[in-house]
Amino acid sequence: MAIVTQFALVIGNKNYSSWSLRPWLAMKYAGLEFAEIRIPLDTPDTHREIRRYSPSRRVPVLLHDNITIWESWAICEYIVENFAPQLLPRDREARAIARAVSLEMHAGFHDLRQNMPMDCRNRFPGEGMNPNVRADIMRIKEIWRNCRHKFGQDGLFLFGDFSLADAMFAPVVSRFVTYDVLLTDVEKNYAATIWQLPAMQEWLAAASQEKEIISHP
Ligand SMILES: N[C@@H](CCC(=O)N[C@@H](CS)C(=O)NCC(=O)O)C(=O)O
């Protein structure tokens, strides 16, 4: 596939912006070259800077060919539809379930997101746990086990090869590392696969170099 340039992805801090990580990973695995416009979150300039690019006043935003696309999942779908069809499984059922679990992630797990915010370079073992967070974690682990068992046997990812579903769950892997969430074997192996991806390591290395600190509520 030809490398298409002239993409720019507007993202937040790599250490904190879980929504930015998702399409960033998808673009890396699509083999697309893109510029990054990084806007640190939670500063006096953040809202003004984000408004320059984003109608929703949120990052990520993809700029391509005079088109502005906001919402992480919409960016992922745009990449698949136009440049990287391989990022969703071809099989009808697997493709439908990949979308279902991705959108379950996109729309849900508020307790986990609120109480265990992404903070790639830090470690807070045991912090943030409560019964609702535990329920979110149980459901995520169930998704991982079911997908690996039913659709993932031919590869290392939820649906075998790397897909948008893996990009959507990558920030959860980072949270599980930061808050030292207990995982069983299938879950642990899957989390390790995501954590060790070269692109994930590139993101984490950049996150560790960032100077901004956003304290947790
Ligand atoms: N549903 C949106 C959520 C995007 C979102 O909440 N982004 C956060 C950063 S991770 C943001 O832009 N916050 C703006 C702010 O803090 O002012 C998506 O999927 O892209």
Answer for the pair 110, 53: CB distance below 8 angstroms, yes or no.
Answer: no
Looking at the structure, tell me whether residues 132 and 121 fall in a common domain.
Answer: yes
Of 25, 55, 85, the domain-final residue: 85
Ligand 1 atom with the smallest distance to the CA of 47 is 17
- 19 CA distance to ligand 1 middle (Å): 6
Nearest Cα to Cα of residue 18 among 132, 135, 113: 113
Of 216 and 131, the structure prediction assigns the larger pLDDT to 131
pLDDT at 216: 79
The ligand 1 atom nearest the CA atom of 12 = 9
**122 within domain boundaries:** yes
As a whole number, mean pLDDT of residues 140-150 equals 98
The whole model's pTM is what? 0.96
How many angstroms does the Cα of residue 171 sit away from the middle of ligand 1? 13
69 and 96 belong to one structural domain: no
Query: Which atom from ligand 1 is nearest to the alpha carbon of 19?
Result: 10
| Residue 130 · residue 115 · CB < 8 Å | yes
Report in angstroms the alpha-carbon separations of 122 from 5, 13, 14, 91, 149: 34, 14, 13, 39, 31
pLDDT tens readout for residues 54-107: 999 999 999 999 999 999 999 999 999 999 999 999 999 999 999 999 999 999
Whether residue 62 is found in the same domain as residue 98: no
* Six-digit token string for 32: 């697309």
The conformation of residue 114, written as its DSSP 8-state character, comes to H
62 & 107 share domain: no
Q: How many CB atoms lie within 10 A of CB 17?
A: 25
Q: 123 and 58 in one domain?
A: no
Q: Which two tokens stand for residue 201?
A: 């390591």
Q: Which CATH number do you get for residue 187?
A: 1.20.1050.10
Do 169 and 98 share a domain, yes or no?
A: yes
Contact 167, 76 (CB under 8 A): yes
- What is the atom index within ligand 1 of the atom nearest the CA of 75? 20
Exposure string over 152-181, b if 16+ CB within 10 A, otherwise e: beeebbbbbebbbbbbbbbbbbbbbbbbeb
Average pLDDT value for the chain: 96
Query: Could you report the per-residue pLDDT of 107-131, keeping only the tens digit for each?
Result: 999 999 999 999 999 999 999 999 9
Question: What distance in angstroms lies between residue 57's CA and the mean position of ligand 1's atoms?
Answer: 8
d(CA 150, CA 160): 10
Domain count along the chain: 2
- What's the rounded Cα separation, in Å, for the pair 91 and 89? 6
Tell me which residue range forms the domain holding 173: 88-202
Domain identity same for 66 and 123: no
4 pLDDT band, cuts 50/70/90, is: very low
CATH of the domain at 81: 3.40.30.10
Count CB atoms within 10 A of the CB of residue 26: 30
Mutate to test the pocket of ligand 1, among 9, 18, 19 (most ligand atoms within 8 A of CB): 19
Query: What residues does ligand 1 touch, defined as CB less than 6 Å away?
Result: 12, 17-20, 41, 46-47, 58-60, 71-72, 106
